[in-house]
Structure 1
Amino acid sequence: MQKIRQFLINIRSSLWFVPGLMIIGSITLSIFLIYTDANVNDEWLVKYPRIFGLGADGSRGMLTAIAGSMLTVAALAFAMTLNIISQASAQYSPRVLRNFMRDRINQFVLGYFVSVFAYCLIVLLTIRGSDEIKFVPSLSVIAGLFFAIGGIIVLIYFIHHIADSLEATNIVKAIEGETVAVIDGIFPEKMGEGADSAEIGPAESLKESIDWHRIESRSDGYIQYVDSQGLMDFAVTNDVYLRMEYGIGQFVAQGTKLISVSRVPEQNWADEINSHYNIYRYRTIEQDVGYGIRQIVDIALKALSPGINDTTTAIICIDYLSVIVGRIAQRKLPASARLKDGEIRVFIKSPDFNDFVETAFDQIRISGNGNLAIFLRILKALSIIGEKTGAKDRLKVLERQFELTREFAEATLQTEYEQTVLMRVASKELNNIRFERV
């Protein structure tokens, strides 16, 4: 299952899969149209001789021109895609490269041109001139002409899409949308069976009282996926407790402790436990909300670097981070212990609300050293998040982050005017957070 999951993840972020499917589809279509030309009466040739009455030489010439132009444009589209990937890596963050590679429009455009090229080659093979058994698949040739005209439209749209996709707002918005979708999927309004806050104390006591035994990781990399139900079934079947040592998005080295069990492990347990983890060389967003936050934070840090100093892009990132963390603030996060039939079985490793807030704002706050606009935007973002939750523990986390930002700003802002503006805005936004707690 681990290999299947990894294969599906790789397919989604590859440039070859969609074009490959389209090539297969174009070859299938060409065979079907050629068969139709060979077995159906040429009624359309009689009715529309000017359209379908192309000779063998004319058909060959047209399809050859179309095939050559499609291959040229496919190479151009591929070069443009590589160019935007290079620019995005240099201007924003290397973490956004995979987003461009998994862009369905980029994949479709590449697939369209190479599939039309393949279509024309197949049809060219079947054309026979006057010295042989004459056969000109008129319908197939005209279809190739329409595909070529469609290629003009696709190319124009692709150029527009390339220019549009390099805009910072669109990149950040795309990451935000994908991250929010993941939040909605893995943090629904009502979680499955898990220990509530009242049970966390006894759960921690139980965890500390157990004599744990280690099961090591068989590979090194980032944890992309954990089959939590599979771990639960394993714990119930073998009547053991499990304690996860690493959570999704964290790096684990081969030979280090991946998970702990409550008794001496049997010989096959390591293989079975490892089969419930998907560990690979990079992080993915499928189960990793923190990775979505990480990508936006990296863009903000790049924008605030001395060589770029793009405050506006950093502010855009903070705005969308407030949307993501605000959505998390509205959701019930997994408890530290999971139950089966009322009994704790698995102690999980997952980020809490404070972890998400720190990931979103700590590094941006530090990189915004002396930048009033950044500090004000962080304070506003925390206020917006505070409006979306009534949980006192989460409001306390926001207030702590608020105070850290204000203290750092007071220590780094250099003019009295900036200090005055900061105090005025901070007083207003902090009152919003405290009001929500009442």
Structure 2
Amino acid sequence: MKDKLLFFFRKLYRLTDKIAFYPTLLGLLGFVFTYVMIYLEEKGISKYLLEIFPALVINNTETARSLLTTFIGGLISIMVFSFSMVMILLNQASSNFSPRLLPGLISNRKHQLILGLYIAGILYCTFILVYIEPNGDKYQLPGFAVLFAILFMVNCLAAFIYFIHSISQEIQINNIMDKIFNVSKKRMLYLIDNEKYNEGDFPETKTWKAYKSKKAGYLQNVSAENIAEIAKEHDVKIDVVVIKGLFVSEENTLFKYEKELETDVIDRIVEHFDFSKSEFVDDNYVLAFKQITEVAVKAMSPGINDPGTALNAIDYLSQLFALRIQKKDKSLNYIDEVAYVSIATINFKALIFQVMAELRTYCKHDVVIVEKLLKMLLHLKSIVKKENEKYRDILDEEIANLIFDAEEAITNKRDIDYIKSIA
């Protein structure tokens, strides 16, 4: 039962990343609030307020209808305009920066809440308009409910002004990269603070039984703590061999287990692997390296030709790698000082190679970019700690590769000599 509840809550959490989740939720709340107001009107709240505070009640039927009709048309227009602006933002981000940025921009909570407020306002005004009696006297008119429609409209206008400000900031690449960096930084700091790994705490897994994946998609999340509890319960160790964030095909090995397990136990373990067709930095910090690298590469393309953005991207990559150096290449999940689950992670060598391979390929002809990359690698080398001494050799190899490619692409001898003098 516990596993089923955890599975349900994980799926519910995933729904929050959908662009329609919060608008739908707020729309339903607006619908419920409408009927709360209708219930209060049936109890005579407008009649009571008309006698006590007449200024709070709209007591003219034509005025109420005109207001509500205008509000509905205005809110629909605002919502269409806002949706168009979001589409323009997504199109520009995809064309000028990277298509990988789209999931993060679509999942912007603030914009979803604003869209939901519009929908709630439209539903509220529509149902209150329908409720108005065609030939009723002033006490049958939902005057107090109409006052709330005015408040709804004022809030929607304020939200629209905020939306225009937010969208103008959201479309700037520096703000996009800064958001990606902050989310990734938060994720890496959490992993660094909570990771445990001691050499020899987990046995060799070459002869273990393998479970083949029945699904295809990006491995978005692995609930290592819950898998560890299952492993402890059945006195078995689990080795998750797929790196989170990578695409898993059907029949690929998903995990290995130490001894024979019942089918229902394996099914319980599989439930704690979440697959998705899209990727989010919140779940996988490696995606931040990919996104920022692609922004730099796209900025250096002939169609964009924006080396300033590429230089900014390298600054963010330098900060991310400085954090990644502090993290170990392997991760184990412990219960009572016993390692029950081993989680595969992308190692530092593979990560920096993937980033540098792209940047070297597309930026090796630009002296300024090569200089910036070289300084980044030298900085990383200077902050490597003794326990991660092997990272120095990896960085030396990347420095050598960068200089080699630069010598092949740059024809000016003075530029080459300058680059070599830095190294």
Task: Please tell me the TM-score bracket, short chain as reference.
Answer: 0.7 to 0.9
- The residue aligned with 1:19 is 23
Q: 1:131 to 1:53 in 2, by over 3 A?
A: closer
- The residue aligned with 1:304 is 300
Unaligned runs of 5+ in 1: 428-438
Q: 1:113 to 1:253 in 2, by over 3 A?
A: same
Q: How far is 1:184 from its partner?
A: 2.1
What letter matches 1:126 in structure 2?
Answer: Y
Q: How far is 1:340 from its partner?
A: 5.2
Aligned to 2:204, what secondary structure does the other structure show? helix
- The residue aligned with 2:283 is 287
Q: Distance in 1 between matches of 2:123 and 2:383?
A: 53
Unaligned runs of 5+ in 2: none
Q: Does 1:357 align with 2:352?
A: yes
Aligned to 1:278, what secondary structure does the other structure show? strand
- The match for 1:272 among 268, 274, 279 is 268
Give the TM-score of the pair, scaled to structure 2.
0.88
Q: How far is 1:3 from its partner?
A: 5.2
Aligned to 1:247, what secondary structure does the other structure show? coil
| Aligned-pair identity (%) | 22
Q: How far is 1:312 from its partner?
A: 1.6
Q: 1:41 to 1:252 in 2, by over 3 A?
A: closer
- The residue aligned with 1:83 is 88
Q: How far is 1:371 from its partner?
A: 0.9
Q: 1:151 to 1:244 in 2, by over 3 A?
A: closer
Say whether the 8 Å CA contact 2:59–2:138 is kept in structure 1: no
Q: 1:100 to 1:4 in 2, by over 3 A?
A: same
Q: How far is 1:58 from its partner?
A: 0.9
Q: Distance in 2 between matches of 1:39 and 1:49?
A: 14
Q: Distance in 1 between matches of 2:355 and 2:84?
A: 34
Q: Distance in 1 between matches of 2:91 and 2:58?
A: 48
Q: How far is 1:264 from its partner?
A: 4.3
Q: Distance in 1 between matches of 2:145 and 2:331?
A: 62
Deviates more, 1:2-11 or 1:278-287: 2-11
Q: Distance in 2 between matches of 1:49 and 1:345?
A: 70
Q: 1:27 to 1:273 in 2, by over 3 A?
A: closer
Alignment map for 1:367-382 (pairs within 5 Å)? 367-382=362-377
- The match for 1:155 among 157, 160, 164 is 160
Q: Distance in 1 between matches of 2:276 and 2:304?
A: 32
Say whether the 8 Å CA contact 1:321–1:360 is kept in structure 2: no
Q: Distance in 2 between matches of 1:143 and 1:388?
A: 59
- The residue aligned with 1:420 is 417
What letter matches 2:12 in structure 1?
Answer: L
- The residue aligned with 2:117 is 112
Q: 1:409 to 1:214 in 2, by over 3 A?
A: same
Q: 1:275 to 1:51 in 2, by over 3 A?
A: closer
What does the per-residue CA deviation read over 1:26-74, in whole Å, with 9 as the maximum and x for residues that have no partner?
2333334444454347565457656634401110111111011111211
What does the per-residue CA deviation read over 1:303-322, in whole Å, with 9 as the maximum and x for residues that have no partner?
22232222122212111111
Q: Distance in 2 between matches of 1:257 and 1:388?
A: 37
What letter matches 2:113 in structure 1?
Answer: F
Give the TM-score of the pair, scaled to structure 1.
0.85
Alignment map for 1:337-356 (pairs within 5 Å)? 345-356=340-351
Aligned to 1:187, what secondary structure does the other structure show? helix
- The residue aligned with 2:239 is 243
Q: How far is 1:14 from its partner?
A: 1.4
Q: Distance in 1 between matches of 2:278 and 2:57?
A: 53
Q: Distance in 1 between matches of 2:357 and 2:106?
A: 29
What letter matches 2:294 in structure 1?
Answer: D
What does the per-residue CA deviation read over 1:388-437, in whole Å, with 9 as the maximum and x for residues that have no partner?
5424333443333233223322332221232233233x24xxxxxxxxxx
- The match for 1:99 among 104, 109, 133 is 104
- The match for 2:184 among 179, 190, 199 is 179
Q: Distance in 1 between matches of 2:331 and 2:92?
A: 41
Q: 1:388 to 1:124 in 2, by over 3 A?
A: farther
Q: Distance in 1 between matches of 2:55 and 2:260?
A: 83
Q: How far is 1:281 from its partner?
A: 2.3
Q: 1:47 to 1:351 in 2, by over 3 A?
A: same
Q: Distance in 1 between matches of 2:234 and 2:38?
A: 61
Aligned to 2:218, what secondary structure does the other structure show? strand
Say whether the 8 Å CA contact 1:57–1:129 is kept in structure 2: no
Aligned to 1:291, what secondary structure does the other structure show? helix
- The residue aligned with 1:256 is 252
What does the per-residue CA deviation read over 1:238-285, in whole Å, with 9 as the maximum and x for residues that have no partner?
343433321211222212222223334544454233222112223333
- The residue aligned with 1:73 is 78
- The residue aligned with 1:435 is none
What letter matches 1:326 in structure 2?
Answer: A
Query: RMSD value over aligned CA atoms?
Result: 2.8
Say whether the 8 Å CA contact 1:221–1:251 is kept in structure 2: yes
Query: After the TM superposition, which segments of 4 or more aligned residues of structure 1 sit over 6 Å from their partners?
Result: none
- The residue aligned with 1:195 is 198
What does the per-residue CA deviation read over 1:312-371, in whole Å, with 9 as the maximum and x for residues that have no partner?
2221211111122212223x4363555555655444311223233233333112211211
- The residue aligned with 2:147 is 142
